[in-house]
Structure 1
Amino acid sequence: MSTKPLPLTPELHAYLVAHGSAPDEIVRELSEETRAALPDQATMQVAPEQAAFLTFLTRLLGVRQAVEVGTFTGLSSLAIARGLADGGRLTCFDISEEYTSIARRYWTRAGVDDRIDLRIGPAAERLRELPRERYLDFAFIDADKVGYPIYWDELVPRMRPGAVIAVDNTLRGGRVLAPQNADDRAIAAFNDEVLADVRVEPVMLPIADGVTLARVR
């Protein structure tokens, strides 16, 4: 058995996606519209295998109360909302009316808009509106990288024991080994903070640009 990561060629990536939960029509059209309308920002959208993983994980955990920080055009929130237990709610935080207007249309098409509460404004401030008790089952962080420690500190005390926080882009294309800019440095420092945080049990997965899962104690 090899302990080395498998190089993921475009052909192998396509095979991986096709043999998991392949994107349906709504996901394909959302991805295509995002690339066409926002070509310079489209890399902020989660990968198709990440979307499938988020739905799978949300279902596996039986999530009823979830939070997302950084919604963009809505693919990750659509994936999470689809996996919620009956009566579940997802609260999304983003600063852009433009990007999330695309998200709203696809949430409606997918029939999950009634499960999502979108709050526009700086997440560092708006997260403080959430109840202070430990009630959240799941959280997904995928916003500005410098803000990760702030979002983490707001969310961890609100997660129930056994809840999971998923954090995107924790490998930064491999640049965490040799940070090249402020975002790279922020993520490298954040990864060290998560590893040292005694409130959680973390594991880092090489999905897309790196996803850290942290189970709250």
Structure 2
Amino acid sequence: MARADLAALRAEQRDLAARAVTRDALGEVRRIGGVDISASRFEREVHAAIVVLDWPSLEEVCRAGATQEAPLPYLTGLLGFREVPAAAAAWAALERKPDLLLVDGQGLEHPRRCGVATHLGVTLDVPSIGVAKSRLCGTWPELPEEAGAAVPITDRGEVVGTLLRSRLRARPIHVSVGHRVSLATALGWVRATLRGRRLPEPTRRAHDAAALVRRDFLARRG
């Protein structure tokens, strides 16, 4: 892409980040949605799934998936533009909407404070939390090995997330604010939806659902 196009996308990210609400602005949570994207950097299509779970039982209420042609190539730091349209299409197809989204990806833990969880949350104006499996930016102190240990992630002097050890000696996960949720509340919801696994139930189930959306698309295409 041309340098001017990249600069425009980065400027749009900064605008989205400025619109993100980083305090609690969510009502009663009766349903939680997990969001995941299945997409290879070498494929033209993006496959999204949202699985809606009842709270507190975490029983599935409904799910929806969508496959769309990626509007952009795979560009680190700009994945929201590639992935959010498909996720928004899956949202539109849901029979029942969740009150809170846990998104497989970063929120404010992003160089321009606009990972996919923030991008999607602001676009839909839905409370959202980023739950990522790897680092995008920031540093943190040493994290203890025991389950439940957590340390702050900072970037350029700002706390942008929390590194959480969800299971004993498991690789940690990155929790960050997406939109309309404080960091403390985001961490609380992630802890509350862990069921003895590394990932919280909403994003774990969404990961499996997105893989099915991708598999079904490839089967139809032959």
TM-score of the superposed pair, with normalisation by structure 1: 0.30
Bigger relative contact order, structure 1 or 2 (CA pairs below 8 A, ≥6 apart): 2
Q: TM-score, normalised by structure 2?
A: 0.30
